[in-house]
Amino acid sequence: MGLIAREVEGHGIPTVALSVLAGATAKTPAPRNVVVRFRLGQVLGEPGAVVQQRRVLWDALGAFALIAQPGGVIELSYRWKRSTYVDPLEPGSGVS
C-alpha cells in the first residue's frame, strides 16, 4: 500500500494509509500511516458497526493534521470489541 500511496502523492494528491499490521507498514510505509489493531480485512471495524467505522475513518483522516514527517505512523488506541466509540457526526459529540 505504501508504494501506491507514495506514487499518488507524487502527483500531488495527499494520502493516508490504514493498516492492521504494524510490521508490514514499517517495511513499506506510506507518507502517512494509521495502524489500528483490528482483524485482517476489517481495518475500519466490525461489519455493520457504523459508528465504529465512522469513528475510525474520522480519526484516520485526522492523520493529515497530525503526521508531519513523511512515513510517520500513528496507532489508534481502539481494540477489537473492547472500545467505546463516539460518532463524530452526532450533534453534541464534541468533535469538530
> pLDDT tens digits, residue range 9-33?
999 999 999 999 999 998 888 999 9
This prediction has a pTM of 0.85
- Whether residue 70 has pLDDT greater than 70: yes
In a domain, 54, yes or no: yes
Report yes or no on 42 lying in a domain: yes
- pLDDT tops 80 at residue 93: no
pLDDT over 70 (residue 96): no
How does pLDDT run across 53-63, given as a tens digit for each residue?
Answer: 999 999 999 99
Give the model's pLDDT for residue 39: 93
d(CA 47, CA 20) in angstroms, rounded, equals: 16
**Domain limits at 66?**
2-79
Number of folded domains in the chain?
1
**Is residue 85, in this structure, part of any structural domain at all?**
no
Q: Per the domain annotation, does 19 fall within a domain?
A: yes
Is there a domain that residue 49 lies in?
yes
What region does 47 belong to: left with phi over 0, alpha with psi -120 to 50, or beta?
beta
